Amino acid sequence: MALQNDEKSSEMLHSQAHIWNHIFSFINSMSLKCAIELQIPDIIDRHGAPMLLPELVEALSINKERTPFVYRLMRILVHSGFFVKQSISTTTGNEEEEREGYLLAPASQLLLKKEPFSIRPLLLFMLDPILMDPWQHMSKWFQNNDVTPFHTTYQRTFWDFASQEPKLNQFINETMASDARFVASLIIKHCAGAFEGLSSVVDVGVVPAPLPKLFRMSIVLVLIFHTLSVVWRELRI
């Protein structure tokens, strides 16, 4: 009986931990959004070396009364795998001490402004309150006849809303441009053979530059493969 009680207690403890994990999982994404809006990845990247916490606080445009909370924010983001800590030696007077500095983890490289394939626009897009609020109305949506929870929240379709909301429209364009750059570069690099036999390529998307540059590259590939296919047919004949 005691063993059964122990097993039951352990099961309840794991169940509670599982529920708590889902309740507070939003902290990870909201902390990451906060770091992006404060430009922490870009600041650490420009520093070019492990960045001490006081150096980071000094570089941030924040209320200095919030300084103690920067450590807590960075602790969450290190645990989430977006930053790493590295011990560095510092000298104060005649004394040398070991302190911890922050570096970018590989995932944070994709959150830099200068990164051509940055996922930063997508992150800010998906975590904006405009797109987060519909999740609060999912239960209402299940009970009504609206097409989507977004329509339940705003009484408009997503695209109607975007056409009237410059911020959302900008998020969409930036996200599409970033994703298109990434996908197009992979296609050109790894799927060049798919262009064989084509004589033209049409871009039907309205996406900001530099996507046209990638398509110019793909057109060059089209011309190359078209020429090679003609030469190959001539040789076979």
Domain boundaries, the chain: 15-109, 120-236
Up-side HSE of residue 40: CA atoms within 13 Å toward CB?
28
pLDDT, position 197: 67
Handedness of CA 145, 148, 152, 158 (dihedral sign): negative
Least confident range from 65-79, 114-128, 217-231: namely 217-231
Average pLDDT over residues 160-166: 91
Contact 75, 81 (CB under 8 A): no
Question: In this structure, which CATH number among 1.10.260.40, 1.10.10.10, 3.40.1710.10, 3.40.50.970 belongs to the domain 15-109?
Answer: 1.10.10.10
pLDDT, position 213: 54
Buried b (16+ CB within 10 A) or exposed e, 110-148: bbbeebeebbbbbbbbebeebeeebeebeeebeeeebee
Q: pLDDT of 141-159, one tens digit each?
A: 999 999 999 999 999 999 9
Least confident range from 4-13, 61-70, 109-118, 202-211: namely 202-211
pLDDT, position 237: 42
Would you say residue 232 has pLDDT above 50? no
Q: How many residues are recorded in the chain?
A: 237
Angle ∠(114,115,116) on CA atoms, nearest 5 = 110
Which pTM was predicted?
0.78
pLDDT, position 153: 96
What region, left, alpha or beta, does residue 201 occupy, with left being phi > 0 and alpha being psi -120 to 50 degrees? beta
CATH topology of domain 120-236: Rossmann fold (3.40.50)
pLDDT higher at 124 or 99: 124
Would you say residue 215 has pLDDT above 60? no
pLDDT higher at 84 or 95: 84
Give the confidence band of 180 by pLDDT, cuts at 50, 70, 90.
confident
Give the confidence band of 186 by pLDDT, cuts at 50, 70, 90.
confident
Nearest to 127 by CA among 31, 205, 61: 31
Q: pLDDT of 3-28, one tens digit each?
A: 567 788 889 999 999 999 999 999 99
